[in-house]
């Protein structure tokens, strides 16, 4: 459980994701590993059109389509190999000696979960190929990853620079306490100004839990500012982040059941769709 698994796909976000991976690897003194997956797409080879033979389709055209599909697969493999080689080379050129790569066929979430016991932190872009110009778009695999992964996930926007401050969104619930404990036990955010922020809710004893969380952070040597706010969760967090020029947001993943989220929505997804700063999601 020591690799900084950095997922790259060649989209416009790749440079920012690589930069974030290098920052995390240096901060935690852990090996950096780049992951690229070649996902299976619907291909129109001869096997897909065998039923059309009786309609006069020419077998030579079907064979040509199969060859084109094979060529696409070869190009995807070559692209993935060169992409990973370039990322590793860049990391090594900046002083990271323990940089490696993994190239897999299949779903990226499955690839991550398969080797999760080797991972300390997952770094991934907030959106992938096909969504470069859509701000609110999030990667099609991102919610699934956040639900399945037990390790922290650093979600990177279009640009990344080493953060000088971070904000913990705290609500007093079990998921928030687990997220807080991972911050305390980690090391990634040490030496960075901390803002502990809560939005008043119906959670029993929120104020006492909030004060205790602030004390724990201060005991670990973090420079802590606190704010207990009222209002809409998403709007107040974004407002506070902008007013205080906060570089990074930390929150627990999916504090409610899927059924409740069906009716009230998910604050995790709402923040992903709204914020333009890096977000660390902790389970």
Same domain, 139 and 61: yes
Higher pLDDT, 20 or 201: 20
Contacts of 108 (CB under 8 A, 6+ apart): 7, 35, 37, 39, 141, 145
- DSSP conformational letter for 111: H
Higher pLDDT, 73 or 133: 73
Tokens read off for 65: 């389509």
How far apart are alpha carbons 143 and 264 in whole angstroms?
Answer: 16
**Which tens digit of pLDDT belongs to each residue from 68-127?**
878 888 898 999 999 999 999 999 999 998 999 999 999 999 999 999 999 999 999 987
Same domain, 92 and 225: no
Confidence (pLDDT) at 211: 95
How far apart are alpha carbons 59 and 169 in whole angstroms?
Answer: 61
Same domain, 150 and 177: no
Same domain, 69 and 115: yes
At 274, the pLDDT band (50, 70, 90 cuts) reads: confident
| Structural domain for 172, as ranges | 163-283
Higher pLDDT, 209 or 272: 209
How far apart are alpha carbons 130 and 116 in whole angstroms?
Answer: 27
Confidence (pLDDT) at 135: 44
- In this prediction, residues 7-18 reach a mean pLDDT of 93
Judged against a pLDDT cut of 50, whether residue 141 lies above it is answered with: yes
Contacts of 198 (CB under 8 A, 6+ apart): 169, 170, 171, 172, 206, 210, 227, 228, 229
Confidence (pLDDT) at 116: 92
At 154, the pLDDT band (50, 70, 90 cuts) reads: very high
Same domain, 62 and 185: no
Domain boundary among 157, 175, 190: 157
Confidence (pLDDT) at 279: 92
**Which tens digit of pLDDT belongs to each residue from 184-202?**
998 899 999 999 999 887 7
How many domains does the chain contain in total? 2
Confidence (pLDDT) at 97: 87
Same domain, 228 and 140: no
Higher pLDDT, 71 or 52: 71
- In this prediction, residues 242-269 reach a mean pLDDT of 66
How far apart are alpha carbons 32 and 12 in whole angstroms?
Answer: 21
Higher pLDDT, 281 or 67: 281
Same domain, 128 and 174: no
Domain boundary among 134, 157, 180: 157
Lowest pLDDT segment from 19-28, 140-149, 183-192, 204-213: 140-149
Domain boundary among 126, 157, 188: 157
Confidence (pLDDT) at 120: 95
Entry pTM = 0.84
3-state SS, residue 198: strand
Same domain, 106 and 120: yes
At 273, the pLDDT band (50, 70, 90 cuts) reads: confident
Same domain, 189 and 117: no
3-state SS, residue 108: helix
Confidence (pLDDT) at 117: 93
The CATH number covering residue 228 comes to 3.40.50.620
Confidence (pLDDT) at 262: 34
**Average pLDDT of the chain?**
84
Confidence (pLDDT) at 264: 36
- In this prediction, residues 20-49 reach a mean pLDDT of 81
Same domain, 149 and 168: no
Judged against a pLDDT cut of 90, whether residue 1 lies above it is answered with: no
Same domain, 3 and 104: yes
Element (H, E) at 2: none
Same domain, 184 and 228: yes
How far apart are alpha carbons 233 and 270 in whole angstroms?
Answer: 10
């Amino acid at each position: 459980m020591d690799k900084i698994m950095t997922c790259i796909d060649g989209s416009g976000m790749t440079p920012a994701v690589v930069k974030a991976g290098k920052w995390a690897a240096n901060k935690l003194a852990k090996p950096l590993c780049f992951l690229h997956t070649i996902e299976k797409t619907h291909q129109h080879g001869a096997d897909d059109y065998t039923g059309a033979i009786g309609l006069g389709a020419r077998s030579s055209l079907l064979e040509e389509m199969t060859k084109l599909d094979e060529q696409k697969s070869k190009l995807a493999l070559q692209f993935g190999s060169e992409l990973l080689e370039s990322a590793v080379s860049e990391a090594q050129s900046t002083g990271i000696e323990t940089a490696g790569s993994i190239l897999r066929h299949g779903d990226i979430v499955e690839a991550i979960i398969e080797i999760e016991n080797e991972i300390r932190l997952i770094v991934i872009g907030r959106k992938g190929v096909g969504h470069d110009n859509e701000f609110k778009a999030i990667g099609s695999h991102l919610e699934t990853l956040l639900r399945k992964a037990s390790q922290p996930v650093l979600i990177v926007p279009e640009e990344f620079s080493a953060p000088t401050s971070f904000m913990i969104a705290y609500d007093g619930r079990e998921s928030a306490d687990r997220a807080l404990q991972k911050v305390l036990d980690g090391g990634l955010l040490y030496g960075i100004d901390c803002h502990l922020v809560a939005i008043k809710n119906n959670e029993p004893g929120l104020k006492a839990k909030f004060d205790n969380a602030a004390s724990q952070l201060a005991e670990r040597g973090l420079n802590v500012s606190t704010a207990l706010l009222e209002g809409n969760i998403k709007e107040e967090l974004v407002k506070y982040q902008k007013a205080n020029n906060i570089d990074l947001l930390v929150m627990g993943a999916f504090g409610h059941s899927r059924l409740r989220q069906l009716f009230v929505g998910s604050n995790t997804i709402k923040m992903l769709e709204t914020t333009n700063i890096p977000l660390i999601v902790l389970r």
